[in-house]
Structure 1
Amino acid sequence: MESSVISLQKAFIYQRDQLVLSDVNFSIQKGEFVYLIGRTGSGKSSLLQTLYADLWLEKGSGIIGGFELHALKRSEIPYLRRKIGIVFQDFQLLSDRNIEKNLHFYLKAMGWKDKNEMNERIAEVLSLVNLPHILEKMPHQLSGGEQQRVGIARALLNKPDIILADEPTGNLDPEMSVEILKLFLDINEKSNTAVLMATHDFELIERFPHRTLYCDKGQVRDLAESM
């Protein structure tokens, strides 16, 4: 479908030589919010890593942000990642520089050059995550929840087609986990940015139900279709 931001067909996901997921078939449409669940070791992270080309799609076909994963060249990976926002469990902020310089570093890596445009976009995304006044703060001066908000802001900088979030609430307490999920849902609704969020927090899913993909026994099932 033209409106799909992700489409996998007969995809086989590997970690090195080990087959992790077999015959994966699903698509995610523009503006859709989807959970990815499964036990630890079930293949959630491997699937996400394949989508942002940290792992190669060895067999089958996949398209994300208009790029064909099954035919991707190494030289194309940076351009693919400009279409994707990635949020990690452990925040992955650079500890030796303040938040403004963290975000500047990312924008330069994405090919931005105009300093005024960069400053303007940084201000925009920090406002979106309700942290407009932390430019001069160092990462260690922020709480875990604030650091994850900066991680989400970083993922939004390049106006991605989709955000891939790998256990983004895994290091947070339950109350902050709810706040972070509400932020994702708000961004999804207001900006029409698709979100694929891996999580094992079933309380969040029950409280804020959305379409759910389930990794189990080497397969990926759409729970709505299997009920």
Structure 2
Amino acid sequence: MVISVNHADIYQKEQLILSDVNLQIEEGEFVFMIGKTGSGKSSLLKTLYADLWLEKGKATVAGYNLHEITQKEIPMLRRQIGIVFQDFQLLTDRNVKKNLEFFMRAMGWKETYEINARIAEVMVQVGMPDILGKMPHQLSGGEQQRIAIARALLNNPQILMADEPTGNLDPEKSIEILKLFLKINKDFGTAILMATHDLELIERHPKRTVFCDKGTLSDLTENL
């Protein structure tokens, strides 16, 4: 089990966002998380990667107990997961290769030959092996998101958590990015938890779906 959440309350500062959350995600599983803006999707994801503290309940992510995790352990947790955001979060002052290299060194990679080899691998995985020298502003939104996905894959994570990864893309590019997530899930067995409000994506490629609404999280899988 790569994620196990039991009777958790999710807070944003003092405000209760989601109550009594229960969520289990198996290794290699693909799960959509849907809900309106402000329904708690991002707050739940932030709790799962320990950006928000778990106030009540129990949760385990990639073997780490979030209700007991220390500040020193949080970087180690994040080496086991990959996080993809809506706004790409690429460093604008350096090219693609240096973006990825900066992340890897921050994550503890030291050997240059290992860094270069892993960067080459993930760029093939996202279908963009030949753009390492380009600057972010030279790339389309879809290309920038592929680089962000490549960055999230660098540590061979057990799970990718994606927070509205198609939110800044047009419908055609959104489908391409979803297909990339599906390919990563199928080819490498990486579990995926993808938050989205784009129901068309789910209709085209139905997977297990959980729903944030009115302060609760429910599983809609049987209704697909």
Q: Under a length normalisation based on structure 2, what TM-score does the superposition of the two structures give?
A: 0.99
The match for 1:115 among 105, 112, 115 is 112
Q: Which residue in the other structure is 2:47 paired with?
A: 50
Q: Is it true that 1:140 corresponds to 2:137 in the alignment?
A: yes
Q: Residue 20 and residue 226 in structure 1: after superposition, are their counterparts in 2 closer, same or farther (change >3 A)?
A: farther
Q: Distance in 2 between matches of 1:225 and 1:74?
A: 38
How big is each residue's C-alpha offset from its partner over 1:202-224, in whole Å with a ceiling of 9 and x where there is no partner?
Answer: 01100100000000000000012
Counterparts of 1:224 and 1:106, CA distance in 2: 36
- Structure 1 counterpart of 2:63, from 66, 69, 76: 66
> Which one-letter code corresponds to 1:204 in the other structure?
L
CA distance in 2, matches of 1:176, 1:219: 31
1:205 aligns with 2:202: yes
What's the RMSD between the two structures over aligned residues?
0.9
For 2:223 and 2:152, the matched residues in 1 are separated by 32
Alignment counterpart, residue 223 of structure 1, candidates 202, 205, 220: 220
CA contact (8 A) 2:207 2:221 kept: no
Corresponding position of 2:80: 83
Distance in 1, Cα, partners of 2:168 & 2:188: 26
Structure 1 position 225, deviation (Å):
4.9
Structure 2 stretches lacking a partner, 5+ long: none
Amino acid corresponding to residue 179 of structure 1 in structure 2: E
Task: Report whether the alignment pairs 1:151 with 2:164.
Answer: no
User: Which position in structure 2 is the counterpart of 1:34?
Assistant: 31
> 1: distance between equivalents of 2:181 and 2:59?
25
User: What secondary structure sits across from 1:70 in the alignment?
Assistant: coil
1:73 aligned partner, one-letter code? T
Separation of aligned partners in 1, 2:94 and 2:221: 44
TM (norm. structure 1) is: 0.97
Output the CA distance in 1 between the equivalents of 2:194 and 2:179.
12
Q: What's the secondary structure of 2:76's corresponding residue?
A: helix
Aligned equivalents of 2:221 and 2:193: distance in 1?
A: 16
Residue 193 (structure 2) pairs with residue 196 (structure 1): yes
Structure 2 residue aligned with 1:174: 171
Q: Equivalent residue for 1:186?
A: 183
Deviations 1:78-129 (A, max 9, x none): 0000000000000000001111010001101111111000000000000111
1:8 counterpart residue number: 5
The one-letter amino acid of 1:131's match is M
Q: Deviations over 1:122-157 (max 9, x none)?
A: 000001111101111000000000000000000000
Q: List 4+ stretches of structure 1 deviating above 3 A.
A: none
What secondary structure, in the 3-state scheme, does the structure 1 residue paired with 2:217 have? Answer: strand
Shift of 1:26: 1.2
The one of 128, 131, 139 equivalent to 1:131 is: 128
Read off the aligned partner of 1:174 and give its amino acid letter. Answer: P
Give the partner amino acid of 1:137: K
- What is the one-letter code of the residue matched to 1:49? K
Counterparts of 1:142 and 1:70 in 2: how far apart (Å)? 40
